[in-house]
């Protein structure tokens, strides 16, 4: 999957901000360098969509956990405005 500018990063950007992906410069950086690591040539918008969905679902689960805490109910009522 790689790190910066690898499969995950590039795939997510293809969904979140496609105009920010320089497709002509996608490269295989499986030997990490200072700029990128991973193989961005294998990135797809479909992978990006799935990865972003997983992140969103995980974030929502964490928010729900926080909301269920007694302290959160007393001090973080503003969460209700997001529902």
What tens digit of pLDDT does each residue of 30-43 get?
776 667 788 889 99
pLDDT band at residue 13 using 50, 70 and 90 as cut-offs: very high
Higher pLDDT, 49 or 29: 49
pLDDT band at residue 82 using 50, 70 and 90 as cut-offs: low
Give the Cα separation of 22 and 34 in Å (integer). 18
**pTM value surpassing 0.85:** no
On the CB side of 59, CA atoms within 13 Å amount to 6
pLDDT computed for residue 70 by the predictor: 76
């Amino acid at each position: 999957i790689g790190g910066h500018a690898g499969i995950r990063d590039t795939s997510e950007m293809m969904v979140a901000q496609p105009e920010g992906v320089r497709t002509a410069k996608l490269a295989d950086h499986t030997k990490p360098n200072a700029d990128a690591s991973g193989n961005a040539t294998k990135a797809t918008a479909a992978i990006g969509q799935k990865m972003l969905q997983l992140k969103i679902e995980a974030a929502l689960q964490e928010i729900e956990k926080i909301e269920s805490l007694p302290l959160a109910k007393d001090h973080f009522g503003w969460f209700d405005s997001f529902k």
